[in-house]
């Protein structure tokens, strides 16, 4: 292995979407990767977001605010087979425990392999001797394997933003052995939760005969792989400040006009079946059923911008939510009260922060989630003197860290309903105590902590 001096290493980040062309690098992840790249004069490789008729084997280079980019286009077929197909109709559902939704198709896997290879080829072309590579997420499980086959021994780390499934679910993917050979070609594999590390370890032991060298390093196929538990955080300070910005106040005022003095229960999610939205709606229906004295006093607003609409399951979800919201409002609503408001659109980061700040309760109830940043963002934006309450799914990676939230089983309408009732009647002292503990947690393990934790291990591993 090469012996780069960490201080002089340039970072190459690879992710399907980059922050190129975005005015405000809204997501915490974009900021974290951007900062890491900027301080090392780094390079960010990814998809341009454009679809062209002809494949672009060579990436085009660009520069923005001190960060270099190498971007490729996909053809329509590549977009369908690689992005919508293999990445989002096989890996996404299976990794979220929804093997029943997976659409296995050899052609899609072939394109997935080709795109991963293309990224590896371009990395080899663009990399310099001391570079360190950091690959993000399930779109690129195989990049390191191709890098190794092409003779590159550059240190290469991988971070999985979504859960790693239990071994049986992973084995349900016909190409699971190919995928794992890709994953173990990385020097460091970062995972969100302890449960993800345990699942991957179990699979490696059962299927690949891997042996632990230490608590964190596995020996498999003659290579050492560092399995790093590395839960992603957010930029807490920046998010807290955002909550009191002009745009945040304006969003608060707008929703207050509608809310009047009613309590706001809020949900903010991409419209995705992993986020447990129909179950959450049913949970709120149960709440209105079980606590009739709350009628007219509480409304639930769910903000859910549609995503991946070209995938059938996402279209069905939209129809299901449309029907559920209509039914619940029909059943419980009144002349002057709408129990559920469901807004199928995105809002600016500042506006979302303003909504969080106004909410008495935030419902974060995914059926499975790698981490879930909404839970952390909600805590970051609260008024310390009158904080709201977080209701959090036990199956979000965030639940491992955020034990002072009200933890619920997202499949149980009763647990959701009772947690909302408990949150709404929680005494101020208890709210403050829970919030303070959650806030201290997200502050100490924030986005900078996450990035440094990953890079420290990657640099250390590569120096050996």
Just list the catalytic residues: 161, 369
Stretch that binds ligand ADQ, among 209-217, 258-266, 320-328, 373-381 (CB under 6 A): 373-381
Q: Is 380 in the site for ligand ADQ (CB under 6 A)?
A: no
Q: Of 268, 276, 279, nearest to 304 (Cα)?
A: 268
- Please state, in angstroms and rounded to a whole number, the distance separating the CA atoms of residues 453 and 185: 20
Binder of ligand ADQ out of 377, 404, 415, 445 (CB under 6 A): 377
Binder of ligand ADQ out of 135, 371, 420, 461 (CB under 6 A): 371
Q: Pattern 314-353, binding to ligand ADQ, x per CB under 6 A?
A: --------------------------------xx----x-
Do 177 and 221 contact (CB within 8 A), yes or no? no
Contacts with ligand ADQ in 203-242 (CB under 6 A)? 232
Q: Is 408 in the site for ligand ADQ (CB under 6 A)?
A: no
Q: Of 286, 287, 289, 268, nearest to 277 (Cα)?
A: 268
Q: Which is nearer to ligand ADQ, 78 or 196 (CB)?
A: 196
- Please state, in angstroms and rounded to a whole number, the distance separating the CA atoms of residues 434 and 427: 11
Stretch that binds ligand ADQ, among 41-49, 121-129, 369-377, 430-438 (CB under 6 A): 369-377
- Please state, in angstroms and rounded to a whole number, the distance separating the CA atoms of residues 171 and 177: 8
Do 367 and 279 contact (CB within 8 A), yes or no? yes
Binder of ligand ADQ out of 369, 415, 445, 446 (CB under 6 A): 369
Q: Pattern 284-303, binding to ligand ADQ, x per CB under 6 A?
A: -------------------x
Q: Is 183 in the site for ligand ADQ (CB under 6 A)?
A: no
Shortest Cβ distance from residue 450 to ligand ADQ (Å)? 9
Shortest Cβ distance from residue 144 to ligand ADQ (Å)? 20
Buried b (16+ CB within 10 A) or exposed e, 223-233: eebbbbbbbbb
Do 68 and 42 contact (CB within 8 A), yes or no? yes
Do 141 and 183 contact (CB within 8 A), yes or no? yes
Q: Is 10 in the site for ligand ADQ (CB under 6 A)?
A: no
DSSP 206: H
Q: Is 311 in the site for ligand ADQ (CB under 6 A)?
A: no
Q: What ranges in 184-311 are assigned the alpha helix state H?
A: 194-208, 236-242, 246-259, 277-290
Shortest Cβ distance from residue 371 to ligand ADQ (Å)? 3
Q: Find the helix packing angle between 373-380 and 428-444, rounded to 10°.
A: 120
| Residues engaged in binding ligand ADQ (CB under 6 A) | 27, 29, 161-162, 232, 268-270, 303, 305, 346-347, 352, 369-374, 377
């Amino acid at each position: 292995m090469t012996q780069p001096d960490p201080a002089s290493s340039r970072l190459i980040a690879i992710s399907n979407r980059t922050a190129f062309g975005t005015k405000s690098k809204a997501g915490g992840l974009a900021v974290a990767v951007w900062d890491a790249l900027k301080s090392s004069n780094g390079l960010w490789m990814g998809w341009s977001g454009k679809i062209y008729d002809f494949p672009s084997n060579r990436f085009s280079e660009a520069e923005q605010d001190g960060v270099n980019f190498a971007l490729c286009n996909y053809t329509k077929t590549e977009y369908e087979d690689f992005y919508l197909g293999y990445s989002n109709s096989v890996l996404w559902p299976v990794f979220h425990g929804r093997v029943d939704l997976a659409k296995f198709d050899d052609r899609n896997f072939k394109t997935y392999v080709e795109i991963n290879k293309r990224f590896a080829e371009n990395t080899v072309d663009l990399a310099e001797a001391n570079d360190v590579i950091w690959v993000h997420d399930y779109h690129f499980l195989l990049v390191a394997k191709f890098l190794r086959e092409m003779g590159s021994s550059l240190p290469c780390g991988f971070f999985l933003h979504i859960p790693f499934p239990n071994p049986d679910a992973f084995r349900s993917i016909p190409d699971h052995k190919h995928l794992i050979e890709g994953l173990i070609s990385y020097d460091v594999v970062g995972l969100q939760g302890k449960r993800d590390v345990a699942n991957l370890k179990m699979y490696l032991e059962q299927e690949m005969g891997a042996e632990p060298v230490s608590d964190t390093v596995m020996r498999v196929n003659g290579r050492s792989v560092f399995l790093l538990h590395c839960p992603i955080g957010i930029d807490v300070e920046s998010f807290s400040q955002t909550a009191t910005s002009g745009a945040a106040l304006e969003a608060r005022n707008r929703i207050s006009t509608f809310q009047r003095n009613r309590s706001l229960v809020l949900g903010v999610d991409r419209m995705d079946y992993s986020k447990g939205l129909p179950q959450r709606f049913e949970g709120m229906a149960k709440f209105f059923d079980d606590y009739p004295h709350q009628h007219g006093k509480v409304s639930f607003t769910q903000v859910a911008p549609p995503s991946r609409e070209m995938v059938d399951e996402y279209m069905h979800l939209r129809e299901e939510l449309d029907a559920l919201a209509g039914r619940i409002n029909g059943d419980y609503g009144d002349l002057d009260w709408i129990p559920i408001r469901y807004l199928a659109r995105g809002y600016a980061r500042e506006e979302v922060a303003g909504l969080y700040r106004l909410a008495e309760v935030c419902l974060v109830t995914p059926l499975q989630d790698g981490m879930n940043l909404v839970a952390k963002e909600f805590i970051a934006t609260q008024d310390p003197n009158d904080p709201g309450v977080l209701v959090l799914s036990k199956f979000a990676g965030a639940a491992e860290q955020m034990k002072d939230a009200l933890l619920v089983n997202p499949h149980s309408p009763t647990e959701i309903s009772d947690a909302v009732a408990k949150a709404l009647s929680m005494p101020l002292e208890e709210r403050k105590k829970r919030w303070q503990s959650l806030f201290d947690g997200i502050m100490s393990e924030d986005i900078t902590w996450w990035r440094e934790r990953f890079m420290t291990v990657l640099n250390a591993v590569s120096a050996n």
